Amino acid sequence: MLMNDDTGRSPEHRSLSTERVWHGVVGMCLVAAMFCLWNDQLDAAFVIATLGAVAWFMPLRNRLSRSTTEASAIATRAENENSFEVRDED
């Protein structure tokens, strides 16, 4: 298991904890939107529910971004391994 930071946590563990944070934000937005609906504050309920919907997709965005970065790093590493220098021999 790779340890990449000072906390000793692996990248997979760090990504799981960020997903939990985003899901917590979604839950808080849901509760706040329900509270606003209960108090007939429809505009505030709409805004909070929209923020919750955005927060719902943030873990997916983070996973896609991470996989794209990893794929480009692998492709770059493969290109570097397969490249060779042409030497001019006199």
The pTM score is 0.56
Cα separation values, 30 from 38, 46, 47, 49, 53, Å: 12, 11, 11, 6, 9
Nearest to 26 by CA among 62, 47, 45, 53: 53
Going from N- to C-terminal start, the domains of the chain cover 15-80
Q: What is the pLDDT along the chain (90 residues), one digit of tens a residue?
A: 444 555 565 555 566 788 888 889 999 999 999 999 999 999 999 999 999 999 898 888 877 877 777 767 777 777 777 765 555 555
3-state secondary structure of 72: helix
pLDDT of amino acid 68: 76
pLDDT of amino acid 1: 42
Q: Residue 52: what residue type?
A: G
